[in-house]
Amino acid sequence: MKKIVFLTGAGMSVESGFKTFRGNDGLWEDYPVEQVATHEGWVTNPLLVNNFYNILRKKLFTAKPNEGHCLIKELENDYEVMVITQNVDDLHEKAGSANVIHLHGELTKVCSSKDPYDSRYIEQLTEDNCDVAPGACAGDGSLLRPFIVFFGESVPMIEPAAEIVAQADILVIIGTSLVVYPAAGLVQYARPRTPIYLIDPDDTPAHASGRLTHIKKGASEGMKELMKRL
Ligand code: OAD
């Protein structure tokens, strides 16, 4: 079976009711990124950061995957499908995708702030119990924090992701402005002859590579178009 690798970003989840980060009406317009998505922001005001992710998490529990997510899952009938996502939502999993790597963490999980990757203290939250209470602690006594990779922190999943991109027979990028590194650099790992498709309704400077076949549509319509072309 051929291997098809998806690299997805915030635009993938727009049709499920989520905002992108950098658009005119983007999430970072409402909440200053320095306060809610950086390591310094977390250290300065963990209460504010936990509140912000509590709100997003509550929204996620009611969100549904869109047709784009479902069509990616459907391709598993004919391809070996790997999804590498920058999104912290679980909509690829909800659509049934079997192989999903989260580069920037997972909103449904919380962890120790002393060592976010100590698996003993990573907790999966449920819909009925999805709020982190002020001052709540992990099993090691440190403050519970969202299992999110903040700006200024390393991205441990980047190496396995690069290996997967290097093995792709087809690479499909959906809904990302490709400006945040190291995720944006993953495209460079595709083999020279691997076709690369981009599904995004807009142009951004980082999309202007001769190597990309741009399907200028939203995630769902773009996936339908991709499936015709494959
Ligand atoms: P951006 O907000 O930078 O880019 C979203 C992209 O989605 C843009 O290129 C839009 O044109 C496109 N888009 C909008 N509507 C769409 C639709 N219906 N279908 C498909 N595409 C659509 O988001 P990311 O590139 O994902 O990191 O941002 C990367 C990282 O920056 C995020 O993971 C997050 C953020 O800071 C962390 O939180 C660590």
Domain regions of the chain by residue span: 1-18+65-104+155-230, 19-62+108-148
For ligand 1, pick from 22, 24, 223 the residue to mutate: most ligand atoms within 8 Å of CB: 22
Q: Measuring CA to CA, which residue among 199, 222, 228 is closest to residue 212?
A: 199
**Separation of CA 141 and ligand 1 centre (Å):** 35
Per residue in 107-139, pLDDT (tens digit) is 999 999 999 999 999 999 999 989 999 999 999
Q: Which fold has domain 1-18+65-104+155-230?
A: Rossmann fold (3.40.50)
Q: Other C-beta atoms within 10 Å of 146: how many? A: 29
**Dist. CA 217–CA 1, nearest whole Å:** 27
**80 pLDDT exceeds 80?**
yes
Check pocket membership of 182 for ligand 1, CB cut-off 6 A.
no
| Amino acid sitting at position 69 | H
Going by C-beta distance under 8 Å and a sequence separation of 6 or more, which residues neighbour residue 3?
A: 79, 80, 82, 167, 168, 169, 170
104 is catalytic: yes
What average pLDDT does the structure give for the chain? 94
Specify whether domain 19-62+108-148 bears CATH 3.30.1600.10.
yes
Question: Residue 5 in 3-state DSSP?
Answer: strand
For ligand 1, pick from 6, 20, 224 the residue to mutate: most ligand atoms within 8 Å of CB: 20
CA distances (Å), 109 to each of 43, 88, 123, 172, 220, in order? 19, 10, 5, 27, 27
Q: Other C-beta atoms within 10 Å of 216: how many? A: 14
CB 72 within 8 A of CB 81: yes
**Dist. CA 200–CA 202, nearest whole Å:** 5
Per residue in 172-186, pLDDT (tens digit) is 999 999 999 999 999
**Dist. CA 188–CA 168, nearest whole Å:** 12
Going by C-beta distance under 8 Å and a sequence separation of 6 or more, which residues neighbour residue 189?
A: 162, 163, 165, 166
**Separation of CA 53 and ligand 1 centre (Å):** 18
Check pocket membership of 85 for ligand 1, CB cut-off 6 A.
no
Check pocket membership of 219 for ligand 1, CB cut-off 6 A.
yes
Per residue in 25-79, pLDDT (tens digit) is 666 667 788 899 999 999 999 999 999 999 999 999 999 999 999 999 999 999 9
**Separation of CA 178 and ligand 1 centre (Å):** 8
**Separation of CA 194 and ligand 1 centre (Å):** 23
pTM of the model: 0.95
Question: Token digits for 210?
Answer: 């001769």
